[in-house]
Structure 1
Amino acid sequence: MDALFVLLGLILLIAGGDFLLKGSVDLSLRLSIPKIVVGMTVVSFATSAPELIVSLQSALQGFPDLALGNVVGSNLANLGLVLGLTLLIGALDIRRSFYFVDWPVMMLASLLSYVFILSDRMLGRTEGIIMVVALFIFLIYLLRYQKPAITEVPQEGVNILPLYKTVFFLLVGGVALWGGSEILISGAVGLATRLHISERIIGISLVSVGTSIPELSASVMAMIRQEKAISVGNLIGSNIFNLLAVLGITAIIHPIHVIDEHLVTVDLLWMLGISFLVLPLVFFPKGQRLNWKDGLILLAVYATFIFTTFS
């Protein structure tokens, strides 16, 4: 029954994330926002919504390791699993902003989260406020300084939905995310108890992979449609949102106290490692490009992480 709850919760989260994604992207098209900005903001926020709802509900219900493990595991899955699989479909050309904005901000957010949690094994309201403020500063910079520098591809053949459909997608998506998170947490905690494994392991593997499916779907579809700007921006942006928005907002509402030390001594270090790994993969051997070989490396790193987690 617990496994069924997990499955049902994931289905609702995926459906809710997809509805929210459709509504959000349509809204951004109405506002004529450039595609790369859509990827770094609108799509990233929509695809991070499952992580936010699950982590917030987990913390409020007294399962802090599930809340933190979900975010750390999702960031690992975004770069190791999602980016790895995406690169098997096709190569990605890396924009200049990756070196000077996207990757540095992701690394700074990762280091900031690690330092905050390392100091006292908790993420409190003050740290949460700092993280959310940092996110707003990043978004203001992105929208103000990067938007004029982008050469936009004409939006030919794009059909904007009627307004009532946009509102419907946003509302149904939000309700599905909330209901899915309640069912998923109930099933995940029950499954962890039944199998005698920690909430951390369930959160960092099963739950995090489930909540990363919207990122996988968005990235794969972006590659198929040749919307590579959205694909790169979505993954980097989602990791930034997961750390600064999901952990930040959760900590403000309910401080996160780490119970399982492995989250600090092992999992967060894996997250920092794979986040850093993306940079040398971009530079070598030719630079400014990621291909299927890089995808295999990322998948191998992620598989190793999962194997060591359960061993």
Structure 2
Amino acid sequence: MEYILLIVGFILLVKGADWFVDGSANISRLLRVPPVLIGLTIVALGTSAPEVTVSLIAAIQGTADVSVGNVVGSNIFNITMVVGIAAVIFPLQVKNEMIVKQIPFTLLASLALIALAGDVTLQGSAENILSRSDGFIFILFLSIFMYYIIEVGLKSRKETKPIGDSNVKWGKSTLITVIGVAAIIIGGQFVVNNATEIALAWGMSEALVGLTIVAVGTSLPELVTSISAALKKESEIAMGNVVGSCIFNILFVLGTTSLISPLSINPVIFTDIWIMIVLTILLLIFSRTGFRIGRKEGFILFLMYVIYMVYIIMRN
């Protein structure tokens, strides 16, 4: 039964991503804003739903390692595997705004995480904790980001003519988008739960399953959505999805979870946070080379994740 549900999960993921990208692209046309802004907001928040769910449940249950590890691991997967595979399928065009403001904001959020979490090093505290005040700072950063997105969107509306395609309707586009994200979330849950059961039945340890299947599973929505966007040559949605998800994961997911329950940070996770920061810088460098991420850069990013997986398996 697990194998059947696993296949059903993958079908829901793929079809849901197809609808989600189509609906999101149509909404961007109806709103008269660049597709990248929809990728940074609606698509990013929708595909971050599994991370939000897992981290909130973990915070309520008092398992901080799951919350923080889920966010950091998902961001590393997004920057390497999601961008890498999408770029190998179809080179991703990167707008100047993304290079100058949006990727640097992701880097800023990552640096804020290491600064707020590093209580032992920076403040001489007994342990590293993301407190409720730290959560408030994250939410404040997110508010600044959202204000910037709204401001850019309003400016774009003034400069863009209303859509003339009668086939693009608000009701249909919204319905397709909602059904798409629902299919992605349900499909992702099917894949994670049943793949975990199969892996445990094969003799894999729970720790290894958590580091591989669960971490990758919560990022499957970003992966399938970005691949679908790349196949449809909607590279702005693909890049916006990745960058927006990374920002939402740190600022919204960790901000919300630490507001609910302060998170104790395992010192081991700092290595992974620094890896995430280095990979974000690498993404910025790749984006500046001809304002696109080509197949060669995509393969390098893909290889980076393979190396990272070998490292964490050996570490644990």
Name the TM-score class by shorter chain.
Answer: 0.7 to 0.9
8 Å contact from structure 2 (residues 40, 244) kept in 1: yes
Secondary structure class of the residue paired with 1:226: coil
CA–CA distance in structure 1, aligned partners of residues 144 and 108 of structure 2: 13
Kindly provide the amino acid, as one letter, of the partner of residue 290 in structure 1.
Answer: I
- How many residues of Structure 1 are paired with residues of Structure 2 in the alignment? 304
Alignment-derived partner of residue 122 in structure 2: none
- Measured against aligned partners, the alpha-carbon deviations of 1:131-160 in whole angstroms (never above 9, x if no partner) come to 011111111112213552587698676855
CA–CA distance in structure 2, aligned partners of residues 189 and 68 of structure 1: 23
Inter-CA distance 310–170: structure 2 relative to 1 (3 Å threshold): same
Q: Does 1:276 align with 2:262?
A: no
Inter-CA distance 72–84: structure 2 relative to 1 (3 Å threshold): same
Q: Does 1:308 align with 2:315?
A: no
Instruction: Report the Cα offset of residue 304 of structure 1.
Output: 0.5
Instruction: Report the Cα offset of residue 274 of structure 1.
Output: 0.7
Q: Tell me how large the CA RMSD over aligned residues is.
A: 3.8
For 1:104-123, list aligned pairs within 5 A.
104-119=104-119, 120-123=127-130
8 Å contact from structure 1 (residues 16, 174) kept in 2: no
Alignment-derived partner of residue 248 in structure 1: 255
Q: Does 1:145 align with 2:152?
A: yes
8 Å contact from structure 1 (residues 122, 256) kept in 2: yes
Alignment-derived partner of residue 299 in structure 1: 302
Aligned with residue 287 of structure 1, among 260, 285, 290: 290
CA–CA distance in structure 1, aligned partners of residues 135 and 90 of structure 2: 37
Alignment-derived partner of residue 130 in structure 1: 137
CA–CA distance in structure 2, aligned partners of residues 183 and 57 of structure 1: 19
CA–CA distance in structure 1, aligned partners of residues 265 and 76 of structure 2: 19
- Measured against aligned partners, the alpha-carbon deviations of 1:132-190 in whole angstroms (never above 9, x if no partner) come to 11111111112213552587698676855674994697489669958976996899699
Alignment-derived partner of residue 84 in structure 2: 84
8 Å contact from structure 1 (residues 71, 242) kept in 2: yes
8 Å contact from structure 1 (residues 28, 42) kept in 2: no
CA–CA distance in structure 1, aligned partners of residues 215 and 82 of structure 2: 12
8 Å contact from structure 1 (residues 10, 211) kept in 2: no
Unpaired stretches in structure 1, ≥5 consecutive residues = none
8 Å contact from structure 2 (residues 132, 261) kept in 1: yes
140-149 vs 10-19, which moves further? 10-19
Alignment-derived partner of residue 35 in structure 1: 35
8 Å contact from structure 1 (residues 109, 240) kept in 2: yes
CA–CA distance in structure 1, aligned partners of residues 161 and 303 of structure 2: 35
Instruction: Report the Cα offset of residue 300 of structure 1.
Output: 1.1
Kindly provide the amino acid, as one letter, of the partner of residue 86 in structure 1.
Answer: A
Kindly provide the amino acid, as one letter, of the partner of residue 310 in structure 2.
Answer: F
8 Å contact from structure 1 (residues 25, 42) kept in 2: no
Unpaired stretches in structure 2, ≥5 consecutive residues = 120-126
Give TM-score scaled by structure 1 length: 0.80
Inter-CA distance 186–300: structure 2 relative to 1 (3 Å threshold): closer
Alignment-derived partner of residue 205 in structure 1: 212
CA–CA distance in structure 1, aligned partners of residues 118 and 197 of structure 2: 25
For 1:163-202, list aligned pairs within 5 A.
163=171, 166=174, 170=178, 177=185, 195-196=204-205, 198=207, 202=209
Give the % identical residues. 30
CA–CA distance in structure 2, aligned partners of residues 16 and 250 of structure 1: 31
CA–CA distance in structure 2, aligned partners of residues 179 and 83 of structure 1: 21
Kindly provide the amino acid, as one letter, of the partner of residue 287 in structure 2.
Answer: V
Instruction: Report the Cα offset of residue 64 of structure 1.
Output: 1.8
8 Å contact from structure 1 (residues 53, 177) kept in 2: no
CA–CA distance in structure 1, aligned partners of residues 115 and 71 of structure 2: 16
Alignment-derived partner of residue 269 in structure 2: 263
CA–CA distance in structure 2, aligned partners of residues 87 and 183 of structure 1: 24
CA–CA distance in structure 1, aligned partners of residues 254 and 149 of structure 2: 21
Instruction: Report the Cα offset of residue 218 of structure 1.
Output: 1.5
76-85 vs 268-277, which moves further? 268-277
8 Å contact from structure 2 (residues 64, 264) kept in 1: yes
Give TM-score scaled by structure 2 length: 0.79
Instruction: Report the Cα offset of residue 258 of structure 1.
Output: 2.5
Instruction: Report the Cα offset of residue 291 of structure 1.
Output: 0.5
- Measured against aligned partners, the alpha-carbon deviations of 1:16-42 in whole angstroms (never above 9, x if no partner) come to 975877777766665554422111111
Inter-CA distance 13–249: structure 2 relative to 1 (3 Å threshold): farther
Secondary structure class of the residue paired with 2:233: coil
